[in-house]
């Protein structure tokens, strides 16, 4: 029934949590397939009790015991300096030893990693644990002896999805060097900013890689990265360039004499070298992973060796159900946390075979992933809603053409629509695979909410309860708990520390405390972990049976295809175009990518709206951040809608972009501009949809 525009306006400006709930239909449950249950790693119906508050923090010994330690830990959790928790204190271990050496006796010639080139003419390359051991050792020797790197130094890796990336990461870990992997799709400038922040003197890159059928010149990005780092005060002494095709150069960009070195050549000097894995303190940093936040500056999430490795190993075993006999394929990029935890560290710690695929899922067609699964005998598959939507759109019936069988599938990174979930279950999983919808973040190291696959029924669109040992809670604005089944949304927090949580933001302890703990900490002096709930930054609801449904970000972060982008970062990129006076970025719903940024710009006086300005704004986002940040549209507007105090009202722009009612604008300093902007975006006739408003869009900019 059509609603009057008056009620609509009220609904969209003052949308309450209860009203959002009205749009949420309860979904039916799916039971895990019996065949899966029979072989599952975790079948104990009491597992959540075993990991319950009464057994906290000792329950996590179970994960630490999955690792090999050089020195045992004496204390499971040290909370003496909240919220800087310490895990497995006194213990010493090495991540490279745990992912490689310890498997040699039993699995020496089993494939550790299978690399699949995007180019379908090239056969897959299987790297055995033995071969991985050889290559990690030789690379570790090179890093130590040729680069002079030692434990605690940072190194930036800007590498594509090839074998060289996990080899380099494990080589760093072997000698205690902190790796900072920058997603290959980030621009040279974005990489340079991360080099600067981490204080890396060494950049490790590759000459080229395949993406969407093109051999991309990646070496060019290394030059820009070094330049950017230098301009911001961080000199880079050496650039190590791997060759995509060893023995031959695949990039037209010249090598800089004395600075750039071809890794494949230098490695010849380290042939057969072995490097003892350095025993690291459990709390020594293992890596940095940059992530966007509400401010323009990315946060270097610092992850520790012992707690992190224990947590990803435990969750890989119980939630991903990885056995050493499995062929596991996570289609994420190692340049994001999902790839660190669930392509490299977790699966390899469990001696699985992990697949690394170089290219885009739909290249050369939407049957590609299923051909790879068939050829390699993949039985565990892990991807994002964006990939699921894209594959469903281009090839809804492709999976049934291929003879593969998954026992287990994962979705991660964004909320998944129940429709897309059902396609994943019936088509991709052929009704044989269990699905876990895992909710977590770069900061968290590993899963926070998910069903335990053999124990909990699946519910499309809901991540599930906290995983064993994680006690999530939803707080309202006042810090009161929003109870399960209330139908109200709030801010999801985690009540307890866990081994996978980041240690701090690299070099920014205060920002760490303020971003994640200040909001709901009642007593800053308290040494009791119960007073330090972790704020995730997502809106969520808890159903009566305890399943969490994640609604999206509560801050100025846009989740594009499962990649976090800060609106401020994109806005500052726009402001580098000289004609641009003001820029505002809002999220807009997209059928495949979930959300995309849409940019509004106002020009300086005397400048005209030309296609050239618009193009340069788009290009600025690509060169400063990366192609994946490309906006859906750029609109040049006469002025931004502003409050009387001069604040840009992004909420109004988000409503226009998403075809929602803008609501009451009479209190603005310039109310008439709203209709002008609306016409630029939507045309003469107002377009308003009455569909349910996703919370991240409905709530976007509400805090301003």
C-beta separation of 356 from 114 below 8 A? yes
Q: Does 456 bind ligand WT7 (CB under 6 A)?
A: no
For the CB of residue 328, give the shortest distance to ligand WT7 in the complex, in Å: 17
* Phi, psi angles (nearest 5°) of residue 555: -115, -170
Coil vs helix vs strand at 208: strand
Shortest-Cβ-distance residue relative to ligand WT7: 442
Pick the stretch among 33-41, 146-154, 434-442, 465-473 that binds ligand WT7 (CB under 6 A). Answer: 434-442
Q: Does 179 bind ligand WT7 (CB under 6 A)?
A: no
Selected binder of ligand WT7 within 135, 315, 362, 441 (CB under 6 A) = 441
Cα 538–chain centre separation = 14
The pattern of x and - marking residues 459 through 478 that bind ligand WT7 according to CB under 6 A reads: ----x---------------
C-beta separation of 316 from 346 below 8 A? yes
- DSSP symbols for 616-632: HHHHHHHHHTBGGG--S
Cα–Cα distance, 504 to 563 (Å, whole number): 21
- How many residues touch ligand WT7 (CB under 6 A)? 24
Selected binder of ligand WT7 within 165, 550, 617, 673 (CB under 6 A) = 550
User: In what helix (H) or strand (E) does residue 590 lie, and over which residues does it extend?
Assistant: strand 580-590
Which residue, among 275, 35, 25, has the nearest Cα to 175 in the 3D structure? 275
For the CB of residue 282, give the shortest distance to ligand WT7 in the complex, in Å: 23
- DSSP symbols for 89-119: ET-EE-HHHHHTGGGHHHHTTSEEEEEE-SS
Cα–Cα distance, 329 to 409 (Å, whole number): 9
For the CB of residue 515, give the shortest distance to ligand WT7 in the complex, in Å: 12
C-beta separation of 383 from 143 below 8 A? no
For the CB of residue 351, give the shortest distance to ligand WT7 in the complex, in Å: 24
For the CB of residue 450, give the shortest distance to ligand WT7 in the complex, in Å: 8
CA distances from 563 to 41, 292, 293, 369 (A): 30, 9, 12, 21
Q: Does 556 bind ligand WT7 (CB under 6 A)?
A: no
Q: What are the b/e assignments for 353-362, b being 16+ CB within 10 Å? A: bbbbbbbbbb
Cα–Cα distance, 414 to 690 (Å, whole number): 23
- DSSP symbols for 129-181: HHHHHHHHHHHHHIIIIIS---TT-EEEE---SSTHHHHHHHHHHHTT-EEEE
Q: What is the DSSP letter of 297?
A: S
Give 611's contacts (C-beta < 8 A, 6+ positions apart).
Answer: none
For the CB of residue 301, give the shortest distance to ligand WT7 in the complex, in Å: 8
Cα–Cα distance, 21 to 92 (Å, whole number): 48
Q: Does 128 bind ligand WT7 (CB under 6 A)?
A: no
The pattern of x and - marking residues 399 through 418 that bind ligand WT7 according to CB under 6 A reads: -------------xxxx---
Q: Does 566 bind ligand WT7 (CB under 6 A)?
A: no
Pick the stretch among 389-397, 436-444, 571-579, 615-623 that binds ligand WT7 (CB under 6 A). Answer: 436-444
Q: Does 383 bind ligand WT7 (CB under 6 A)?
A: no
For the CB of residue 580, give the shortest distance to ligand WT7 in the complex, in Å: 27
Burial of 306 (0-12, 13-18, 19+ CB in 10 A): buried
The pattern of x and - marking residues 47 through 66 that bind ligand WT7 according to CB under 6 A reads: --------------------
Residue 607 tokens read as: 């400048």
Q: Does 655 bind ligand WT7 (CB under 6 A)?
A: no
Q: Does 554 bind ligand WT7 (CB under 6 A)?
A: no
The pattern of x and - marking residues 252 through 281 that bind ligand WT7 according to CB under 6 A reads: ------------------------------
Q: Does 538 bind ligand WT7 (CB under 6 A)?
A: yes
Q: Does 537 bind ligand WT7 (CB under 6 A)?
A: yes
Residue 36 tokens read as: 């899966």
Q: Does 290 bind ligand WT7 (CB under 6 A)?
A: no
To the nearest 10 degrees (0 to 180), the angle between helices 129-141 and 164-174 is 60
Q: Does 562 bind ligand WT7 (CB under 6 A)?
A: yes
Residue 409 tokens read as: 């599938």
Q: Does 593 bind ligand WT7 (CB under 6 A)?
A: no
Q: Does 535 bind ligand WT7 (CB under 6 A)?
A: no
Residues 299-338 that bind ligand WT7 (CB under 6 A): 337-338
For the CB of residue 49, give the shortest distance to ligand WT7 in the complex, in Å: 24
Coil vs helix vs strand at 13: helix
62 vs 538, beta carbon nearer ligand WT7: 538
* Phi, psi angles (nearest 5°) of residue 373: -60, -40
Q: Does 440 bind ligand WT7 (CB under 6 A)?
A: yes
For the CB of residue 464, give the shortest distance to ligand WT7 in the complex, in Å: 9
For the CB of residue 337, give the shortest distance to ligand WT7 in the complex, in Å: 5
For the CB of residue 405, give the shortest distance to ligand WT7 in the complex, in Å: 24
CA torsion, ordered 253, 255, 256, 259, to nearest 10 deg: 130
Pick the stretch among 22-30, 35-43, 105-113, 437-445 that binds ligand WT7 (CB under 6 A). Answer: 437-445
Q: Does 353 bind ligand WT7 (CB under 6 A)?
A: no
For tokens 């708990």, the residue is: 481
For the CB of residue 330, give the shortest distance to ligand WT7 in the complex, in Å: 11
Contact set with ligand WT7 (CB under 6 A): 291, 337-338, 412-415, 437-442, 463, 536-538, 550, 552-553, 559, 562-564
């Amino acid at each position: 029934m059509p609603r009057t525009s008056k009620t609509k306006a009220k609904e969209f400006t003052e949308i309450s949590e209860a009203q959002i709930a009205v749009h949420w239909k309860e979904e039916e449950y799916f039971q895990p397939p019996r065949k899966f249950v029979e072989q599952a790693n975790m079948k104990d119906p009491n597992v959540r009790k075993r990991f319950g508050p009464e057994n906290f923090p000792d329950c996590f010994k179970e994960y630490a015991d999955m690792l090999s330690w050089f020195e045992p830990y004496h204390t499971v959790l040290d909370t003496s300096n909240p919220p800087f928790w310490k895990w497995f204190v006194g213990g010493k271990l090495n991540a490279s030893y745990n992912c490689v050496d310890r498997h040699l006796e039993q699995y020496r010639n089993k494939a550790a990693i299978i690399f699949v080139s995007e180019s379908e003419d090239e056969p897959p390359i299987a790297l055995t644990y033995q071969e991985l051991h050889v290559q990690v050792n030789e690379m570790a020797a090179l890093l130590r002896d040729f680069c002079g790197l030692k434990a605690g130094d940072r190194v930036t890796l800007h590498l594509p999805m090839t074998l060289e990336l996990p080899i380099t990461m494990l080589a760093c870990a072997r000698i205690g060097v902190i790796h900072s992997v920058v997603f290959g799709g980030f621009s040279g400038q974005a990489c340079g900013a991360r080099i600067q922040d981490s204080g890396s003197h060494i950049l490790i890159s590759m000459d080229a890689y395949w993406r969407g059928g093109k051999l991309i010149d990646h070496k060019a990005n290394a030059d820009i990265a070094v330049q950017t780092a230098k301009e911001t005060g961080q000199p880079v002494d050496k650039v190590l360039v791997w060759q995509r095709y060893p023995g031959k150069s695949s990039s037209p960009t010249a090598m800089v004499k004395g600075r750039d070195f071809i890794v494949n050549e230098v490695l010849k000097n380290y042939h057969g070298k072995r490097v003892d894995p350095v025993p690291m303190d459990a709390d020594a940093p293992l890596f940095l992973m940059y992530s966007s936040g509400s401010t323009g500056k990315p946060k270097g999430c610092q992850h520790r060796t012992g707690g992190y490795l224990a947590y990803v190993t435990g969750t890989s075993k119980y939630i991903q159900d990885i056995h050493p006999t499995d062929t596991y394929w996570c289609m994420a990029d190692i340049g994001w946390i999902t790839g660190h935890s669930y392509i490299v560290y977790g699966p390899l710690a469990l001696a699985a075979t992990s697949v690394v695929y170089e290219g885009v899922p739909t290249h050369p067609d939407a049957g590609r992933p299923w051909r790879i699964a068939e050829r390699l005998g993949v039985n565990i598959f892990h991807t994002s809603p964006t990939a699921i939507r894209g594959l469903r759109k281009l090839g809804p019936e492709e999976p049934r053409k291929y003879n593969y069988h998954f026992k287990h599938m994962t979705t991660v990174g964004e909320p998944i629509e129940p429709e897309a979930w059902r396609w994943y279950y019936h088509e991709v999983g052929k009704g044989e695979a269990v699905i876990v919808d895992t909710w977590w973040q770069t900061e968290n190291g590993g899963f926070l909410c998910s069903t335990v696959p053999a124990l909990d029924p699946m519910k499309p669109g809901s991540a599930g309860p906290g995983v064993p040992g994680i006690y999530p809670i939803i707080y309202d604005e006042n810090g009161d708990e929003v109870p399960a089944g209330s139908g109200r949304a709030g801010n999801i927090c985690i009540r307890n520390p866990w081994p996978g949580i980041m240690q701090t933001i690299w070099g920014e302890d205060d920002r760490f405390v303020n971003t994640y703990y200040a909001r709901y900490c009642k007593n800053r002096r308290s040494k009791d972990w119960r007073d330090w709930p972790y704020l995730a930054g997502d809106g969520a609801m808890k159903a009566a049976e305890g399943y969490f449904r994640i609604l999206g970000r509560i801050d100025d972060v846009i989740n594009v295809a499962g990649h976090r982008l800060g609106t401020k970062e994109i806005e500052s990129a726009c402001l580098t175009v000289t004609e641009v006076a003001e820029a505002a970025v809002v999220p807009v719903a997209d059928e495949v990518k979930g959300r995309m940024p849409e940019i509004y710009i106002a020009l300086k006086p005397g400048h005209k709206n030309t296609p050239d300005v618009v193009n340069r704004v788009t290009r600025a986002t690509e060169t400063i951040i990366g192609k994946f940040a490309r906006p859906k549209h750029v609109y040049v507007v006469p002025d931004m809608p502003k409050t009387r105090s001069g604040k840009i009202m992004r909420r109004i722009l988000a409503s226009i972009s998403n075809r929602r009612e803008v609501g009451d604008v009479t209190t603005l300093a310039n109310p008439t501009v709203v209709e002008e902007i609306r016409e630029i975006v939507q045309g003469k006739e107002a377009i308003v949809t009455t569909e349910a408003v996703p919370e991240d869009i409905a709530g976007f900019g509400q805090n301003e």
